[in-house]
Structure 1
Amino acid sequence: MTRLARHGAALLGAGLWNWHPLPGGDVAEVLLVYLNDGRRVVVKHGPDPVAEAVMLRTLGQTGAPVPDVLAVDEDALVLQYLPADGRLSRCWDDLARVLSLAHTGRPDGDGVRYGWSGDHAFGAVKVCNDWTETWPDFWAWRRIGVHLAHVPVDLARQLETLMRRLPDLLPATPAPCLLHGDLWGGNVLVSDRHVTGLIDPCCYYGHAEVDLATPGVFSQPPAGFYARHGGLARGYEVRFAIYRLWTALVHLRLFGATYRPMVAQYLNDAGVY
């Protein structure tokens, strides 16, 4: 970690004074680094710092708050330090406002399509983002099918069943909007009842409900959160289960069988037993 701290300082042309790990860091090292010129910055290493910098800048272009990218290379990403001394439970309304800004982002070019310009990863779990022209195809092959070879056979069969049903369960061509893509509470920085920054994005263009569903994996957003964003369309419960299933599958692969019951619950909620 000292090496990462020194490298981050060097990218800014400064000397290292001190550093300490920040919370999180399950799949990447994240440090708060104190420079000898008095600045505090965040330095992190991940599967692809350059790709993450592009995602943060793209989110920032919508007006959504994100940390400024101060420097980046293939080994480290240096970010603005943002205050995070608040509690998400006190600012769900502001997160809804922030998401509304982020979701104004649209893919380049004409026509409707879903995906991103490159793949990403959570540790050893690849996140595939090749473009598709329909949303059920994207979710089937980029978010569910990619796990078939990495889960037990009985679970793979259930996932295949769900994949066949997706054209009947998901909208065919919802407006493709910019998604944070991994919006759990740990990736939302909060201070003084306001969201100060969205961090650790896994961006792509897709159905806005993905970002509305994901916070409910580890938290319980109030009804006002959804109302502030614009409300929920009929049948959202099944769609939320399908979108949350991807998060559960990633956790199953990263952290093991502890997450099998979560996977089972979301499959059940989606009508696959």
Structure 2
Amino acid sequence: MSALAAAAAARLGRRLVDCAPLGGGELSRLVRIRLDDGREAVVKDGPDPPAEAAMLDAIRRAGAPAPAVLAAEAAFLVIECLPADGREADADLGRAVARLHAATGPAYGWAQDYAFGPVAIGNGWSEDWPVFWGERRLLCHGPHLDPALARRVEALAAALPDRLPARPRPALLHGDLWAGNVLCAGGRVSGLIDPACAYGHAEADLAMLALFGRPGPAFHAAYGEAEPGFAERRPIYQLWPALVHLRLFGAGYRGLVEGLLAAAGA
């Protein structure tokens, strides 16, 4: 950990005064550093720090809050240290996510692949949203599932042309939007962190946000009304993060996967 901190300080051209590990990094190491000029920053490693830096920059360009990137190397990312007090900020989160989703991409996907730790996130570009979601977010897990579960995922993927819109507006997605990746202070969102960006149907982010806890009415009032049929599509979009959790953390998430498959009619 100290080696990571020292390397980051050297990259910024300053002397490291202090460092301390930060919690919450299940898939990467996180450390807060203090430099000899008084600045503080957060350093993290991960599957592809330069790719994460590009995603954070895309979020900021969209007008949504995200930490500024101070440095990005193959081995680590250095970002500004943002305030966080845990106070509720549902209304501001609704406004922030609406600004994020207002940014539009050229097609569905992202310019490069990414990963959640050892779980690859295949991207590339597609003009067909159900094909993208089926191939890049669902079927890709098949080789890592037992045959019975894989068959249910395959059946759902085959039905997606009838279940998902073919050409929704390709909104900028955070890609891993849950409460742990939303920093709040003073009733405002100070930053969206740990993205896995792609362009796609905005509902994918909204479904993820509701998977491990639901934002309150203030979020929905600020973000806007859901599209007709969202309740039926929500488990299809929630299945991707559930499958990722199953692969990362084991059988404790199988029940969640099976429940979402059932809710999606598979």
User: Would you call these one fold, judging by a TM-score over 0.5?
Assistant: yes
Residue in structure 2 matched with residue 98 of structure 1 by the alignment: 96
Structure 2 counterparts to residues 147-166 of structure 1, below 5 A: 147-166=141-160
**Could you list the runs of 5+ residues in structure 1 that have no partner in the other structure?**
none
Task: Give SS of 1:103's match.
Answer: helix
What's the C-alpha RMSD, in Å, of the aligned pairs? 1.0
Q: Among the aligned pairs, what percent are the same residue?
A: 50
Q: Deviations over 1:41-85 (max 9, x none)?
A: 000000000000000001100111111101111111100100011
Residue in structure 2 matched with residue 61 of structure 1 by the alignment: 61
Residue in structure 2 matched with residue 181 of structure 1 by the alignment: 175
Q: Which runs of 4+ in 1 moved over 4 A?
A: none
Q: 1:245 aligns with which of 226, 239, 242?
A: 239
Residue in structure 2 matched with residue 218 of structure 1 by the alignment: 212
Q: Deviations over 1:2-40 (max 9, x none)?
A: 111111111101111111121211111111111122111
Task: Give SS of 1:233's match.
Answer: coil
Return the offset for 1:95: 0.6
Whether the 8 Å contact between 1:107 and 1:177 is mirrored in structure 2 is yes
Task: Give SS of 2:183's match.
Answer: strand
Task: Give SS of 2:20's match.
Answer: strand
**Could you list the runs of 5+ residues in structure 2 that have no partner in the other structure?**
none
Return the offset for 1:238: 2.1
Task: Give SS of 1:268's match.
Answer: helix
Residue in structure 1 matched with residue 184 of structure 2 by the alignment: 190
Q: Deviations over 1:116-143 (max 9, x none)?
A: 0000001100001121111100100000
Return the offset for 1:215: 1.1
Return the offset for 1:243: 0.8
- Name the amino acid aligned to 1:266: L
- Name the amino acid aligned to 1:151: L
1:127 equivalent in alignment to 2:121: yes
Give distance in 2, aligned partners of 1:70 and 1:202.
Answer: 19
Whether the 8 Å contact between 1:11 and 1:72 is mirrored in structure 2 is no
Residue in structure 2 matched with residue 118 of structure 1 by the alignment: 112
Give distance in 1, aligned partners of 2:151 and 2:76.
Answer: 40
Return the offset for 1:223: 3.5
1:17 equivalent in alignment to 2:17: yes
Residue in structure 1 matched with residue 252 of structure 2 by the alignment: 258
Residue in structure 1 matched with residue 72 of structure 2 by the alignment: 72
Task: Give SS of 2:108's match.
Answer: coil
